[in-house]
Amino acid sequence: MAGFTTELFRRRIPQILGAYLIASWAVLEFADWAVNRYVLSPYLVDFAFALLALMAPSVLLLAWFHGAPGRDTWTRLEKIGIPLNLAVAGIVLFGVFQGRDLGAATTTVVVADEEGNQLERVVPKSEFRRKIALFPLDNVSADTSLAWMQYGIPLALLHDLRQDLFFDVRNEQHFPERLREAGYLTGVGVPLGLKREIAEEQHRDYLLTGTLDRVDGEIVVEAELYDVLRGRLLERMTVSAADLMQIADSLSVQLKRGLEIPEQRIEDAADLPVGELVTSDESAFHEHIEGYRHLVFGGDWQAALSRFKAATEADPAFAYAHFGAYMTAVLGNLGPVAQEAITAAVEHEYRLAERDRYVAKIEYYQIVRQDPAKAIAVAQMQTELFPDDIEARLRLGYLHTVQNDRPAAIQQYERILELDPSQHDMLQSIGELYESMGEFEQALDYYGRYLERFPDSERSFRVVGELYRQLGKQEDARANFERALVIDPGNVEALTSLAQLEYSAGQPAEAEARLAEASDAARTPVQQAQVYERLRDLAEWQGRTREAIRYREQQIAQLEASTYPPLLTIVNRLTSLDLFVQAGQTRAALDSLASIQQALEPPWDLLGSIGEVVVYRDLGDAEKLAAGLETLEQMIQATGFENLRQVALRAEGWVLELEGDCAQALDRFAESFALLPTKVDAHTDIGRCERKLGRLDDAEASLERVLQVRPADPKALLELARVREEAGDREGALERVEATLEVWAGADVEFEPAAEARALQARLGG
């Protein structure tokens, strides 16, 4: 052993290895300096370390054979070993760093704005962005006056971080319903385990949580940064100051260092003091936070708007408060207030983070200018200026969706997946778009890819179950809904989906049992509203329209008790007005329609056309239905909501049918179905018109398509009975009409379709 040690020193191996280690340390330090100084890929340091470690065998070989004094020759072992070491190192480095960007962490882009001005920006590549979940702070003091700061400090921090595209931050406004379902109605006091679970669901890499206290007149925040995947605490930060905005600024810098953002990036990035960006008036910010709390957790839209207005009165240039007022007003059916608020937000856009300026402009062009093409142009410009900004691409994808350009939306979502493969929600979003286009195999492929990544996601099984239901594969649909219930036994969505599957297959008792179970499991007003909606559908399906109206009122009451936007509740009212007509309560339908139309404010006043289409179609009034259709067309043109085009085409078909032109009506029904192939009941309209035109074989095929998906659909069964009667198949017609009356066994006396079915049964001798 002593001889071996002597030989090592004779060949100067310890000295050479020591020199190599010192040189390696210097290389790593230089790499780390370069990464921070020039904002290069942080993988460069890992690459340098791996390369230096992998080349150690070659260094040892060279030291052994050439370290001793005197002349040396190259040995066979060296000639084989060193190239082999190089080859192995190359293979390992390729395997580990394949697909990793080892260049700059940023890229420079140039684009023209909506006025034609050239803009140049240095933006981070998506691979290097930090995805963070922020949660409200827990107030550990006895001072309840600090309660608003539990939300205020994280929200100020969020606004500060939004100045830098290195950060993709989400807070409780992205998942309020998830917190409510878990019993945390105000979003505070949430256990760390649940925070981590929610952060995982939001596909965040990090989560920031902490506590709030007051000590010696100063606010003290103790924040903790966690690695979501491992649940490991990465950094503990303590900040104290008398001013809330100072705390947010200090916490922002500490967080960036905790996340190992390159120091040069911290120095160079736009980082206005958050008080200059948001507001330096604490009373204004307090009002803003109270409005925010009402908007996200309270559901009190009037109180929220009042607080946002108070914030802008205290600081008229408070752009974020103007935007909060806009969001509250636009969803609360206060059109003129919304227009005024978004105009003020755009006027003071210098007080918005740059990415939020685009959001404000898009809303401005949509609502104030009613120029959907300009809104798309601004959104497109944002993606060109910030090509790796996922949030911008999400917004552009949404705009393409509502304008019925689903292939363009898919293109944006696919690009998001290329930029950041961890954005797994895009798989489901793309699947839903393919499903809406009738490309069911493509949809199933994307849903399957999501399931492979998250085999314990109940939502995945629900989505796949719904797709199988659209394909008429009831057993496959049932299996997926039941698998969702295995994962989450009280899942309201899965239970209501199963109920729908069961009553559409002619099993109303089983459906009622499922809905009773769902009602017991419902933990929030929104979930209870979902149960009432399905109970309403079941009652309507069975011709019990008076009962359906009662469920409708209970559903709307639950929505109004929740944070559900008032504007969407109004739309719900409009789309269900046909129940009054079916119940023989025509006056109530017309009065309710007039009342809603009177309450709607511009630009949403045109929404009343949806109610006109619903009511006058069931009343069979072609003239007024055509007038409603004309208003609906005006709304589509003004808002760019081309996703309503299929409703307009179907309504046009109803007008033509009422006027006796079934040939043209058929074309409109077919066009409507082509735009939304999941709307299978369009084939009932198609089959009815084909029967009127004497195309009985085509009519039967169309109606069978409905029954493949919904085997007990009473309207399709009744229409098929008429087809069989006209074809001279009395037995087949009687079989269908009896199946219809089995569904409508408990129908209201006023329910005319049931009376028509009984008349047909009598005519057939049944």
CATH number (domain holding residue 250): 3.40.50.10070
In a domain, 580, yes or no: no
In a domain, 650, yes or no: no
Per DSSP bridges, beta strands 206-215 and 138-139 are parallel
H or E element that contains 212: strand 206-215
45 and 93 co-located in one domain: yes
311 and 458 co-located in one domain: yes
Cβ contacts of 651 within 8 Å, gap of 6 or more: 613, 617, 625, 628, 629, 632
128 lies in which domain range?
124-277
Predicted pLDDT of residue 45: 65
User: Whole-angstrom Cα distance, residue 744 to residue 721?
Assistant: 15
Predicted pLDDT of residue 723: 96
Report whether pLDDT(736) > 70: yes
Predicted pLDDT of residue 436: 93
Strand partners, 226: 207, 233
233 and 321 co-located in one domain: no
Q: Could you tell me the two tokens for 554? A: 């209970």
In a domain, 551, yes or no: no
92 and 154 co-located in one domain: no
163 and 226 co-located in one domain: yes
pTM over 0.95: no
Q: Which of 471, 541, 555 is nearest to 503 (CA)?
A: 541
Predicted pLDDT of residue 172: 92
Of 8-12, 412-416, 534-538, the one with minimum mean pLDDT is 8-12
Task: Please check whether residue 172 is in contact with residue 204, taking contact to mean a CB–CB distance below 8 angstroms.
Answer: no
Per DSSP bridges, beta strands 106-112 and 118-124 are antiparallel
**Mean local confidence (pLDDT), 628-639:** 92
Per-residue buried b or exposed e for 143-181, using 16+ beta carbons within 10 Å of the residue's own CB: eeebbbbbbbbbbbbbbbbbbbbbbbbbbbeebbebbbb
Q: Which of 321, 312, 317, 319 is nearest to 292 (CA)?
A: 321
pLDDT, tens digit, 9 for 90 and up, residues 37-47: 655 666 666 76
pLDDT band at 496 (very low <50, low <70, confident <90, very high): very high
Measured between alpha carbons, how far is residue 551 from residues 72, 125, 524, 526 in Å? 95, 51, 17, 14
Boundary of a domain, candidates 444, 463, 482: 463
180 and 223 co-located in one domain: yes
In a domain, 541, yes or no: no
153 and 243 co-located in one domain: yes
pLDDT band at 557 (very low <50, low <70, confident <90, very high): very high
In a domain, 169, yes or no: yes
Per DSSP bridges, beta strands 130-134 and 206-215 are parallel
Number of other residues whose CB lies within 10 A of the CB of residue 262: 24
Report whether pLDDT(208) > 90: yes
Q: Which of 227, 259, 260, 225 is nearest to 239 (CA)?
A: 225
88 and 221 co-located in one domain: no
Boundary of a domain, candidates 463, 481, 514: 463
H or E element that contains 486: helix 474-487
In a domain, 583, yes or no: no
Boundary of a domain, candidates 463, 489, 509: 463
Measured between alpha carbons, how far is residue 571 from residues 111, 604, 610, 614, 668 in Å? 39, 10, 8, 12, 24
Report whether pLDDT(224) > 90: yes
Mean pLDDT (the chain) is 87
Cβ-in-10-Å burial (0-12, 13-18, 19+) of 193 comes to exposed
Q: Could you tell me the two tokens for 656? A: 């033509």
pLDDT, tens digit, 9 for 90 and up, residues 407-462: 999 999 999 888 778 788 899 999 999 999 999 999 999 999 998 888 888 888 99
Q: Total structural domains in the chain?
A: 4
User: Whole-angstrom Cα distance, residue 303 to residue 1?
Assistant: 84
pLDDT, tens digit, 9 for 90 and up, residues 112-164: 555 555 555 555 555 557 889 999 999 999 889 999 999 999 999 999 998 88
Q: Could you tell me the two tokens for 36? A: 């921070």
311 and 457 co-located in one domain: yes
269 and 345 co-located in one domain: no
Q: Tell me how far apart the terminal alpha carbons of the chain are, to the nearest angstrom.
A: 107
131 and 85 co-located in one domain: no
Report whether pLDDT(86) > 80: no
Task: Please check whether residue 171 is in contact with residue 223, taking contact to mean a CB–CB distance below 8 angstroms.
Answer: no
Number of other residues whose CB lies within 10 A of the CB of residue 477: 25
Predicted pLDDT of residue 418: 85
In a domain, 712, yes or no: yes
399 and 273 co-located in one domain: no
Predicted pLDDT of residue 259: 82
Interhelix angle for 43-54 vs 13-38, to 10°? Answer: 170
Task: Please check whether residue 702 is in contact with residue 723, taking contact to mean a CB–CB distance below 8 angstroms.
Answer: no
Q: Could you tell me the two tokens for 359? A: 């959001």
CATH number (domain holding residue 747): 1.25.40.10
Q: In the chain, count H helices and then E strands.
A: 39, 8
In a domain, 148, yes or no: yes
